[in-house]
Structure 1
Amino acid sequence: MSDLRSAMRGDCHAHTDASDGSATIAEMAAAAAELGHDWLVITDHSPRLTIANGLSPARLRRQLDQIDAINAALDSTGFRLLTGIEVDILADGSLDQEPELLARLDVVVGSIHSGLRDDRAVMTRRMKTALANPHLDILGHCTGRKLAVKTDAAHSRSGWRPPSDFDAKAVFATAVRHDKAIEINCRPDRRDPPTALLAAAAQVPGLRFAIDTDSHATDQLAWQALGCERAENAGLTADRIINTWSAEELLAWTASHA
């Protein structure tokens, strides 16, 4: 196990069968605890992503109650589930969920899933607007690219999709200004940001990162090791990775964005 992987305390991006994952919340929690995590953020999709069965406000509220109940049962184990969402960043940079509900969540990952071929200026403005939103904490899979690889024996081959075009220097500077994190997406069919862009991001002073699996099944939580290897190759150290924090430290950071 690499030094960085051994420093990981949790994962900020995981899906369940409430949206397009294959496992229950409890199953994802058990798998994360078995890997040695102290916490896991449940981040199912938001309403606009109907293809992924995104959660309406009512469904998300019910999920929060579920997580509360599971945490009560886990209280003696030392493991903790955190509430969250992978919220769609809409065309104007706003976030696809009720602001009041976003404010209740522990961690908000914002990702672009539509309009990925928008021109450079439009995409840059969209990302900067989202990063300035006090509810957003982490910018997910920033280029939106997909690689034509089979993720594992149990999952289908992903179709190729080129990365979006945006002014990375301006986007990363906005993330630093608002103290937000850039996700290193561990999925083998994403590996986002791409290697050259990740190397450039690593050179930005003060830029934080989240090494997240974007897992949709229990076994995919182990993909965090792939992201740790990429981060180490880019020269990143544990002090710049928010997954190395305790749940309390993570929550203090996300609360500072409000």
Structure 2
Amino acid sequence: MPDISIMHALCRAVSPAITDCELSFIDRESIDVALAQAQHRDYIAALGALGVRVTELPAEPVLPDSVFVEDSVLLFDELAVLTRPGAISRRAEVDAIAPVVQSVRSRVERITQPGTVDGGDVLCIGQHVFVGLSQRSNQAAIDQLTAVLKPFGYAVTAVPIRNCLHLKSAVTALSDDTVLINPEWVAAGYFDAYRQIRVAESEAHAANVVRIGAAILMPSCFPETRALVQAAGFAVSTVDVSELQKAEGAVTCCCVLFTG
């Protein structure tokens, strides 16, 4: 029997074509590919330092955004759900990761047309799954996900967002009862059941963090928000992902976490 207490992560190396990435809410800047690859290695090392067993998949030279593996699959304890990304250029990423997904979950479902959903829009806190209504994720996919997850006791809530790419750009979980949130990008009322820590006013993008057990991993460029999270009692590690942020990436999107 696998040890379900062990946290695993699927990651994919940075594509040499990352400079051709999709962008929606930020301006295009020059990306140093070698530095992005080095920062990604540091990111994987940071996950490992927090006890995560990482499987790194090879780079996909023709898929610029493929380092952002979170968008291609949702992994629950009971099953996996292959997504259908909102950007047409990213849909081939799903087929690229599918064989690995099938090796870690025996039951695999798939979002189908007309549904579109990116994993970055899906925030799971316990048995509650929040899904962002965004430029990348639509109600048709939310309806499909609701039907797939209902037999396993999950409740799904659609959450409109504004001025950002994904729901997890605006809010992530620090624990089962606490979220880190930018209320300028998502209505805080959707998360009234949780204690809310608001990002620092000068750090709009700081709400995206990775929760690993009781530890939090966040970008190093948000010191004010880091101080707020630490003051709330959380242990925080940081990593520099500045080049990946130029591709509209963040720390959650570079891994798919799962147990077992």
* TM-score, normalising length: structure 1: 0.31
* TM-score, normalising length: structure 2: 0.31
